[in-house]
């Protein structure tokens, strides 16, 4: 079985995003970029399935600018076997990403596609579900456990009230939640080896996908800022404040 892992290049999660003064977006010039943390978890899960003998090949794919190659090299250094970059210098929305991924799935026939549940830049939380719909395949979103059992996969999901388990027939789509695993760091020798692993470059047109955006961003603004309040010296003052707010007797 092959596993396809889409990975997105996003602002590093440690960076505090700044809105551009002209209100057109978030300033990404000279900002550290990394693999979306949920996608690291997806790559790790694929590697673990391969190590457990449940998968033979892991293909990482990214839709994005030429620099997304770095993200793909990270996936290769972690343990993916080969990579596909679908190059686009303009932003591609989840629906179009899902259509491109559908084209790749039809060409590669993976048994599983493991995506992140959301990208930490746009926070859309859509791509995996859309891909599943376009392919007419089952989806196991927000996964905290993935177990392959013959021709199906059992996925434990993080849901509002706790956990839920569903059984999906393969091929299937899975999206990762935070507690699925702890991704490994790529070792230096593996980073060197990754440079020699195959990386194909394609375009959206190769898959017949029109990436013209459906949503137009009219403006991007800073949220209302909260200013720091006061510090109280002791518990008694805090209790008095709570009483003022009418929440203590």
Partner 1 sequence: MKTLVWVEHDNASVKDATLSTVTAAAKLGEVHLLVVGQGAQAAADAAAQIAGVAKVHLADGAAYANNLAENVAPLIAQLMGDHDAFLAPATTNGKNIAPRVAALLDVMQISDILSVEGEKTFTRPIYAGNAIATVESSDAKLVITVRGTAFEKAASTGGSAAVEAISGTGDAGLSSFVGAELAKNERPELTSAKIIVSGGRALKDADTFQATIFPLADKLHAAVGASRAAVDAGFAPNDYQVGQTGKIVAPEIYIAVGISGAIQHLAGMKDSKTIIAINKDEDAPIFQVADIGLVGDLFTIVPELTSKL
Ligand X SMILES: Cc1cc2nc3c(=O)[nH]c(=O)nc-3n(C[C@H](O)[C@H](O)[C@H](O)COP(=O)(O)OP(=O)(O)OC[C@H]3O[C@@H](n4cnc5c(N)ncnc54)[C@H](O)[C@@H]3O)c2cc1C
C-alpha distances out from residue 228 to 19, 225, 231, 238, Å:
21, 10, 9, 16
Residue 31 binds which entry of partner 1, ligand X, none, CB below 5-8 Å type-dependent: none
Confirm if 2 and 109 have CB atoms less than 8 A apart.
yes
Q: Give the nearest distance from C-beta 240 to partner 1 in angstroms.
A: 10
- Per-residue contact string for residues 28-57; x = within reach of ligand X by CB under 6 A: --------xxxx------------------
Residue 198 binds which entry of partner 1, ligand X, none, CB below 5-8 Å type-dependent: none
Confirm if 10 and 64 have CB atoms less than 8 A apart.
no
165 contributes a contact to ligand X by CB under 6 A: no
User: Within positions 29 to 58, which residues make up the interface with partner 1, using CB under 8 A?
Assistant: 38
The rounded distance, in Å, linking the Cα atoms of 12 and 36 is 8
Tell which residue, 91, 89, 31, has the closest CA to residue 65.
Answer: 89
The rounded distance, in Å, linking the Cα atoms of 214 and 65 is 20
Confirm if 137 and 152 have CB atoms less than 8 A apart.
no
User: What is the distance of C-alpha 87 from the center of its chain?
Assistant: 18
The rounded distance, in Å, linking the Cα atoms of 221 and 159 is 31
User: Within positions 2 to 31, which residues make up the interface with ligand X, using CB under 6 A?
Assistant: 6-8, 13, 25-26
The rounded distance, in Å, linking the Cα atoms of 54 and 68 is 28
In this structure, the dihedral spanned by the alpha carbons of residues 174, 153, 102 and 13, taken in order and rounded to 10 degrees, is: 20
Angle among Cα 87, 98, 201 to the nearest 5 degrees reads: 20
Residue 111 binds which entry of partner 1, ligand X, none, CB below 5-8 Å type-dependent: none
Residue 19 binds which entry of ligand X, partner 1, none, CB below 5-8 Å type-dependent: partner 1
Contact with partner 1 (CB under 8 A): which of 112, 157, 174, 186? 157
Residue 8 binds which entry of partner 1, ligand X, none, CB below 5-8 Å type-dependent: ligand X
Residue 203 binds which entry of ligand X, partner 1, none, CB below 5-8 Å type-dependent: none
Contact with ligand X (CB under 6 A): which of 57, 87, 121, 147? 121
Contact with partner 1 (CB under 8 A): which of 130, 143, 186, 209? 130
| Site residues (vs ligand X, CB under 6 A) | 6-8, 13, 25-26, 36-39, 61-64, 91-94, 97, 115-116, 118-128, 213, 215-217
């Amino acid at each position: 079985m092959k596993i396809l892992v889409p990975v997105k290049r996003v602002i590093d999660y440690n960076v505090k995003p700044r809105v551009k003064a002209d209100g057109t977006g978030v300033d990404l010039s000279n900002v550290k970029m990394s693999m979306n943390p949920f996608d690291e978890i997806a790559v790790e899960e694929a590697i673990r399935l391969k190590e457990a003998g449940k998968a033979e090949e892991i293909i990482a794919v990214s839709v994005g600018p030429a620099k997304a190659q770095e993200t793909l090299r990270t996936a290769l250094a972690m343990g993916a076997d080969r990579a596909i970059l679908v190059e686009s210098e303009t932003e591609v929305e989840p629906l179009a990403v899902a259509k491109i991924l559908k084209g790749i799935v039809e060409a590669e026939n993976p048994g599983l596609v493991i995506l992140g549940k959301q990208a930490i830049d746009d926070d859309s939380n859509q791509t995996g579900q859309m891909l599943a719909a376009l392919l007419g395949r089952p989806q196991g979103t927000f996964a905290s456990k993935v177990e392959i059992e013959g021709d199906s996969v059992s996925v434990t999901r993080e849901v509002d009230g706790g956990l839920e388990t569903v059984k999906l027939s393969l091929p299937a789509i899975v999206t990762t939640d935070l507690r699925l695993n702890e991704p490994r760091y790529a070792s230096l020798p593996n980073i060197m080896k990754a440079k020699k692993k195959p990386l194909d470059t394609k375009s959206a047109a190769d898959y017949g996908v029109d990436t013209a955006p459906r949503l137009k961003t009219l403006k991007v603004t800073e949220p209302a800022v909260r200013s720091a309040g006061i510090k109280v010296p002791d518990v008694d003052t805090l209790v008095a404040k709570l009483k003022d707010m009418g929440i203590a007797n």
